[in-house]
Amino acid sequence: MPLESSSSMQLSFPSPLPLVPDSFTNSSPPPMSYITSQEMKCILHWFASWSGSQRERFLQDLVAKAVPGKLQPLLESLEQLSVSGANRPPCIFECQLRLWDQWFRGWAEEERNEFVRQLEVSEPDFVAKFYQAVAATAGKD
């Protein structure tokens, strides 16, 4: 019985190293943390119950975060602030905005963009207003 030449035989040895999934080799952003995804779900849940004026306030804050170097959104946000009496506790909405601000500052840019994408899925009209407001800041300082 003749032996086959080594060029026609294909030997397959298991790799000593585990294979790296394609999702890690194509330089895609790392997956969002569980905590961040829960924060986003929480904000989206709150948003669904906010009134029109509360959504407008959130829109101004979102625009100010999207274009932080622009003065106009900052001034509009300052107009919404009010000095509350020392005896008056903050309302639920104010607490939600504080948490939103704290969480947003901790998110990476990709996570911030993902939040807007998720908001657009559930509230496309609101996100369209957001994009219009951001575009309106162009050239204004």
Q: From first to last of its 141 residues, what are the pLDDT tens digits of the chain? A: 555 555 555 555 554 555 555 544 455 555 789 999 999 999 999 999 999 999 999 999 999 898 877 554 445 555 555 555 556 778 999 999 999 999 999 999 999 999 999 999 999 999 999 999 999 887 665
pTM of the model: 0.67
Half-sphere exposure of 83 (CA within 13 A, CB side): 1
Q: How far apart are CA 137 and CA 84, in angstroms?
A: 30
